[in-house]
Amino acid sequence: MHYLARGEATGGLFGLYRWEFSEAVSGPGPHFHRTIAESFYVLDGEVRIHSGAGWVTARPGDFLHVPPGGIHGFRNESGAPASMLLHFAPGAPREPYFEGLDRLARGEEWTPEEYDAFMAEHDNVWVEE
C-alpha cells in the first residue's frame, strides 16, 4: 500500500492510495462501509472487483465507484502482479486500517473479539457471498 494523499493532507475531503498486489491470491471479500465512498481505478494487471451484483474482471483503465453502504470487494486471482488506485471520500484515516491488516498478514494474532472490534472501528462490515 502506498499512501498518495492522506485525508489529513486533503482537509478530510478524500484519501488516495495505490494498492499493489503480488502474484498471490489476495484481497478482501464483499463488505461495505457505512460512512465512506470508495472508488477503484485499475492501473496494471487484472483485478476481480465485486460490484455489489457479483464479481467482474477489471483491467487497466477500468473504474468503479461505490457509494457509502454499497457492497464491494476486490482481489487478485490472476497469478500475476496487479495494481490499482483506491479513493476514499471523505478522507477517513485509513492508514491505521491498512497498517493493522499488514500486522495480521505478518503473523500477528488477534482474538475474534479483537478482529471484530478492529473492523467496526474502521467501518468495515463483512457480507456473506
Q: pLDDT by residue for the chain (129 residues), tens digit each?
A: 899 999 889 999 999 999 999 999 999 999 999 999 999 999 999 999 998 899 999 999 999 999 999 999 999 999 999 999 999 999 877 889 989 999 998 999 999 999 999 999 999 999 987
Rg, C-alpha atoms of the chain: 14
Integer Cα distance of 19 and 74 in angstroms:
11
Q: What is the CATH number of domain 2-126?
A: 2.60.120.10
Q: How many residues does the chain have?
A: 129
- The pLDDT assigned to 122 comes to 93
CA–CA–CA angle 22, 25, 29 (5° rounding): 120
Asked if 7 and 72 touch (Cβ cutoff 8 Å), the reply is no
Q: Is the dihedral of CA 33, 57, 29, 83 positive or negative?
A: negative
Could you give the CA distance from residue 97 to residue 92 in angstroms, rounded to a whole number? Answer: 10
CB 97: neighbour CB atoms within 10 A?
A: 18
